[in-house]
């Protein structure tokens, strides 16, 4: 599967319902009835993905919230987004 670049645009799929929990969130893919859990950081990304957003903009938003280097942020954001993409929870253009 191709990697993401800073200019890749990501959007949460409409067919995914989210419920916040004490330490993150649960996602339900309404098409497959599959559940997924998110930690607080992944929930931050998920909330940002309710509108189309580039990977670079996601990293900038995350760095405003958390103390993380550019390299670590980009690597971790791409890792989370690729997992969401593999599970068909987000669309990438």
| Alpha carbons 46 and 65: distance in angstroms, whole number | 14
| Domain extent for 57 | 13-88
- Mean pLDDT confidence for 9-33: 96
- Mean pLDDT confidence for 54-79: 96
- Mean pLDDT confidence for 68-89: 95
In a domain, 76, yes or no: yes
Band (2; pLDDT cuts 50, 70, 90) = low
pLDDT of residue 3: 84
In a domain, 29, yes or no: yes
13-19 long-range contacts (CB < 8 A, ≥24 apart) are 13/88, 13/89, 13/90, 13/91, 16/89, 18/46
pTM: 0.92
Which CATH number is 63's domain given? 1.10.10
pLDDT of residue 58: 97
Between the CA atoms of 52, 57, 59 and 60, what dihedral angle is there, to the nearest 10 degrees? -140
In a domain, 93, yes or no: no
pLDDT of residue 27: 97
Looking at the predicted structure, is the pLDDT value of residue 48 above 60? yes
């Amino acid at each position: 599967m191709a990697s993401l670049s800073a200019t890749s645009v990501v959007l949460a799929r409409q067919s995914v319902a989210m419920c916040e929990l004490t330490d993150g969130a649960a996602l339900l893919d309404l098409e497959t009835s599959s559940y997924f859990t998110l930690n607080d950081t992944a929930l931050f990304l998920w909330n940002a993905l309710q509108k189309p957003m580039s990977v670079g903009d996601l990293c900038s938003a995350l760095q405003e919230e958390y103390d993380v280097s550019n390299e670590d942020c980009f690597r971790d954001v791409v890792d989370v987004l690729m997992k969401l993409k593999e599970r068909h929870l987000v669309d990438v253009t």
